[in-house]
Structure 1
Amino acid sequence: MSRKVALLKGGVSAEREVSLWSGEACAKALREAGYDVTEIDVSKDIPRLIKQLQDAEPAVVFNALHGRWGEDGCVQGLLELLGLTYTHSGVLSSALAMHKERAKMIVSQVGVRVSESLTIQASALAKGDPLPRPYVIKPLSEGSSVGVHIVFEGDNHIATTRAELGFDGDIMVERYIPGRELTVAVMGGKALAVTELAPKQGFYSYEAKYTDGKTEHIVPAQIPEEVYQEALDAAEKAHQALGCNGVSRSDFRYDDTPKGDGKLYYLETNTQPGMSSLSLVPEQARYLDMSFPELCGWMVEDALQSREES
């Protein structure tokens, strides 16, 4: 079997920088694991991308793209048309998971508790609060906490323009769940661990995610055993319900505040989780004694196996 891997990184989404970090880290790890890696910085030049992929003659395409076009089923569709084997989830599951409202609808049908939310246009925000405060404003189809805003009691101004929001397109408005931020990686259908994300200031924003020292990662999360197990089970159910392949990561809120309901709420599933030095999937793999090169190698071999089985 060929050891050639074409690694897609960069892209044109708001998460380009994150993708470059992930791609560089994964390329290094794959080389350490013995693979022959061709790195491709993806642009909007599709004919060029097709030629680069054909010239690389990969056994597997390692998709390290994040955000729109790379994570929403678009590049997956292109790879399908080219007949190339690729890592992570397929066209349909990528598209479903990227659309936060549809993902929550599907995951709720398998018995996972989701937070109350609705989809609106930005102009609707100027007409008044769409939900009782506090609530969260986020793009319907972005990741990495891009464009996330929390509206609290007493806030006098709500972002309504593209410049203020930091994104365009449809908006998800979601009831703010106080308490703890939890995340669970799923690998080959099996949940790895539960990590608590404890920002040292504010909430788990884009800056808090990707600036070293801004957020404490607590793995395993120090929460009641029954809640820990519920998070593991819910992440596996989400992975299966959305039809994910390879590795995914699901995010939750756990309301353990004094006046809270003590319940766990599903927020979303990432089919292309970050794979940089600060990322959560490699961290949970290390917790289970799997090195980063071993993790990346597993993803390549899993993609090959999935293609053979299909």
Structure 2
Amino acid sequence: MIAVLMGGNSAEREVSLNSGEAVYQALKSQQINCFKFDWNGDNLEDLWSQHFDLAFIVLHGRGGEDGVIQQLLEDRNITYTGSNAGASANGMDKHLCKNIWQSENLPLAPSILANKDSTTPTIDFPLPWAVKPVSEGSSIGISKVTSLDQLDNALTLAQHYDNKTLIEQWIEGEEYTVAILDGEALPVIKIVADQDFYNYESKYLSNSTQYLCPCGLTEQQEKQLQAIALKAFQAIKATGWGRVDFILDEHNSPFLLEINTVPGMTSHSLVPMAAKAAGITFEQLVKKVIHAAQK
């Protein structure tokens, strides 16, 4: 029996519910015994009272992607999909993740950490900047700062979601993403957002954001991105499946943005899109994620 864990109480709750429904329907269509469980933050006793052998985690954001639910499942010796508690925590904390990647000499834009109750440190790299909560997903709370007088508002927005904020040099360029499935990089997708950047609205609400696969890069460039994505994935000790996001600047130099250890599985989601380009149906994708968890 498989429990599809969805919902949660993070800012990404609605996306998670959509992802969970898609996974549940894919399992049901293959006659796989499963049930949906909407975790609202304080009803886990209801989950533990049910019999299941594996948890398919499609909880996005805090509680579901940061190692919390993973640790609770580990404590009960229950198999689950995706990365373990430690790797999930590494991936969710953007500052910690960047430090790990930096130690592996992976390509990164310069950044600094700002704490809510402290003076903002001196920023020694040029505008524009990306200001983002350290532990939030789906581009929630992110601002593009093009002049110094915009910084306070950007910090206020980011600190609504997290006490810690990452201020990062904004790299102008094209956005790409690489899905990882059971140790392999899937075809690269280019994202052409209909907004100034690939924000929450572009990701989930817009019908005019374009996803290009084939992505338009040369074979050599695509292989380079896939190799960096795999190295970034392995550096934080992620396993199973995930997604690594990049910006390529005007010189086609790649910069890592972030990693998602519980990517979306909605109709707008990128991992199913990359899987389809590799000849993997949504139903097969769901089974492959489960298979990776059972190894």
TM-score (norm 1): 0.89
Q: Is 1:50 equivalent to 2:45 in the alignment?
A: yes
Whole-Å separation in 2 of the counterparts to 1:241 and 1:143: 20
Q: How big is the shift at 1:150?
A: 0.5
**Aligned equivalent of 2:10, options 7, 10, 13:** 13
Any idea what SS the aligned residue of 2:167 has? strand
Match of 2:260 in 1: 270
**Over aligned residue pairs, what C-alpha RMSD do you find?**
2.0
Please give the residue correspondences for 1:259-298 in structure 2 after superposition, counting only pairs within 5 Å. 261-298=251-288
Q: Is 1:217 equivalent to 2:240 in the alignment?
A: no
Which ranges of structure 2 fall in alignment gaps of 5 or more residues?
none
Whole-Å separation in 2 of the counterparts to 1:90 and 1:36: 24
Report if the CA contact (8 A) 1:122-1:160 is conserved: no
Match of 1:233 in 2: 227
Q: Is 1:34 equivalent to 2:24 in the alignment?
A: no
Q: Which amino acid aligns with 2:47?
A: Q
Per-residue Cα deviation, 1:104-128 (whole angstroms, up to 9, x for no partner) = 2222333421111111124668788
Report if the CA contact (8 A) 1:219-1:284 is conserved: yes
Q: How big is the shift at 1:165?
A: 5.7
Q: How big is the shift at 1:50?
A: 3.2
Report if the CA contact (8 A) 1:62-1:300 is conserved: yes
Greater mean alpha carbon deviation, residues 60-69 or residues 217-226? 217-226
Any idea what SS the aligned residue of 1:159 has? helix
Paired positions, count: 295
Any idea what SS the aligned residue of 2:79 has? coil
Please give the residue correspondences for 1:1-310 in structure 2 after superposition, counting only pairs within 5 Å. 4-45=1-42, 48-55=43-50, 57-122=51-116, 131-153=125-147, 156=150, 158-159=152-153, 162=156, 166-256=160-250, 261-305=251-295
Report if the CA contact (8 A) 2:28-2:34 is conserved: yes
Q: How big is the shift at 1:194?
A: 0.8
Greater mean alpha carbon deviation, residues 182-191 or residues 214-223? 214-223
Report if the CA contact (8 A) 1:285-1:295 is conserved: yes
Which ranges of structure 1 fall in alignment gaps of 5 or more residues?
306-310
Change (3 A) 1:125 1:22: farther
Whole-Å separation in 1 of the counterparts to 2:157 and 2:176: 30
Per-residue Cα deviation, 1:231-279 (whole angstroms, up to 9, x for no partner) = 10011111111111111100011002xxxx4311111111001111110
Per-residue Cα deviation, 1:155-186 (whole angstroms, up to 9, x for no partner) = 65641564576523100011101110110001
Report if the CA contact (8 A) 1:182-1:251 is conserved: yes
Identity percentage over the alignment?
Answer: 36
Change (3 A) 1:304 1:134: same
Greater mean alpha carbon deviation, residues 278-287 or residues 36-45? 36-45
Whole-Å separation in 1 of the counterparts to 2:35 and 2:222: 39
Whole-Å separation in 2 of the counterparts to 1:132 and 1:148: 18
Whole-Å separation in 2 of the counterparts to 1:181 and 1:222: 12
TM-score (norm 2): 0.93
Report if the CA contact (8 A) 1:162-1:168 is conserved: no
Per-residue Cα deviation, 1:186-215 (whole angstroms, up to 9, x for no partner) = 111110011111112321001110014141
